[in-house]
A and B are shown apart, each in its own frame.
Chain A
């Protein structure tokens, strides 16, 4: 028991493993890309094995108290944090931004005609049922917004004029 590694030491070990993992992931996604696609399983296997061994050691060498549950939670927190760092580094690359931009463009190219066609269909259907369409309702709402704006401006003008009159009034 005397030479059992303390929880801090173990966490330090896990942290180191996870950080090294994060750096390796960042290297994998940074250009130039390797000829062969990266194999995440192969990369993470040693890390996972080490994690399991570390946990086995901990269970074997420390008393079975509820602190183990706390330590497990801390381990999971660090694990998630490490993944968050890895993903953050990946998403912070030009390649990821480019890929996302291209995906969005493809979505918009597909979505544009689809949306127009769907809108037209709905408009025709509502017209056939003698019901106001979405665009007609939107147009009415827009007019109300504009009317409200005009009334507001009118109120402001009247208030300003009254204030000027008040300023010029008898003292």
Chain B
């Protein structure tokens, strides 16, 4: 049946029955051919003359560094009094995704809204950092970064904004450091209840994953293994990315964005060994943060001790930190001013890209602006 139909089609296109196409159809075919030509041109350009995308263009100064970690302050009109300390994930990827390209940058949005914006870049750790633990991040690095924010901004309060893994780490910091005046806390796609964390939760379960053997053998988690883990989480991602590239290849703006995003998406960062052991065992396997069983720097980490206003943002299609595990912070904290929103998008598109500029950034800046 299929063959007959295809034969009919050939006949219709080429034979006498094809008839004269309407001027509208001819015009659209011409447009499609032009797009096809531009696709070929851009494809040739991508192959023969790949341009290094200029990411992270928002002006900034380094205000503090400790070992590999850096604290950057971004230029802004500083209309809001309370500065914002942005804490991204440690390892996995580089933080320039938050300042990818002009017009598509979370950092640029926040500075345009008048926030005195600071970003922590954890850095790329080497074998000499394999002893670094989550506890070191919470009790040594973050308090220093927060103090430096207060000193350089000349204020007596700050807001903390945690993204992905940066959210549970900074929540642990806020809960254990009441002496540091955190005015507001924002959790963007940061897992809190690790029993609801999806595929990674299953794969890293105690029954199947021996984290001690893993770290003792490899010392750290190499970038290639991090990459393999994330690729496995969504095996069709590369296929759909390339299909979308082909489809939009005629669009120079899209190609520019694609190159920048592709550069970021293929630059994976290793985990220090002890950090990974601590992270998997205490957070993924034992869910000790949510159960209130963590102790850091001799202080118990109790999320109910967080009493400042809280804003939690989950992404509907997030398969790394599904909304349920993010939302759990709302019930765990002792704050009375708390709000949860679930926005369209995935783990990355929640905070980067065109959708983020429409759905997420204005919500975060609006909520913070009213409290800063």
Contact = CB atoms under 8 A, between A and B. Distances in A.
B236 A92 contact: no
B144 interface: yes
A65 B128 CA distance: 61
Given A84-B236, A115-B217, A141 B126 contact: yes
A69 interface: yes
B127 A97 contact: no
Contact of A92 (B202, B207, B218): B202
Contacts of B240: 77, 80-81, 84
Contacts of A142: 128, 131
Contacts, number: 108
B67 interface: yes
A164 interface: no
Interface string B1-29: 11101101100110000000100010011
Interface in B58-104: 66-67
A101 B5 contact: no
B32 A69 contact: yes
A60 interface: yes
Given A59-B5, A60-B5, A104 B66 contact: no
Contact of B203 (A52, A59, A97): A97
What range describes how many residues of B lie at the interface?
35 or more
Given A53-B1, A59-B9, A66-B29, A97 B243 contact: no
A57 interface: yes
Contacts of A112: 217
B67 A145 contact: yes
B298 interface: no
What range describes how many residues of A lie at the interface?
35 or more
Interface string A38-64: 000000000001001100110110011
A105 B5 contact: no
B207 A101 contact: yes
A138 B1 CA distance: 69
Given A66-B32, A69-B32, A83-B236, A97 B205 contact: yes
B111 to A, nearest CB: 29
B208 A97 contact: yes
A132 B67 CA distance: 22
B230 interface: no
Interface string B137-159: 00010001000000000000000
Interface string B235-255: 110011001000100000000
Interface string B207-239: 111100110011000000000000010111001
Interface in A103-151: 104-105, 108, 111-112, 115, 134, 138-139, 141-142, 144-145, 148-149
A108 B225 CA distance: 12
B265 interface: no
A163 to B, nearest CB: 12
Contacts of B267: none
A98 interface: yes
Given A69-B32, A142-B128, A52 B2 contact: yes
Given A66-B32, A142-B128, A104 B214 contact: yes
B213 A80 contact: no
A101 B126 contact: no
B2 A53 contact: yes
A53 B3 CA distance: 9
B293 interface: no
Interface of A: 49, 52-53, 56-57, 59-60, 63-67, 69, 73, 76-77, 80-81, 83-84, 87-88, 91-92, 94, 97-98, 100-101, 104-105, 108, 111-112, 115, 134, 138-139, 141-142, 144-145, 148-149, 152
Which 6 pairs across A and B sit closest by C-beta, in order of nearness?
Answer: A101-B208, A56-B5, A141-B128, A66-B32, A84-B236, A59-B9
Interface of B: 1-3, 5-6, 8-9, 12-13, 21, 25, 28-29, 31-32, 66-67, 126-129, 131, 140, 144, 199, 202-203, 205, 207-210, 213-214, 217-218, 232, 234-236, 239-240, 243, 247, 319
15 contacts: A53-B2, A60-B5, A60-B9, A65-B28, A66-B32, A77-B240, A80-B239, A88-B319, A97-B202, A104-B209, A105-B213, A108-B210, A115-B217, A141-B126, A145-B128
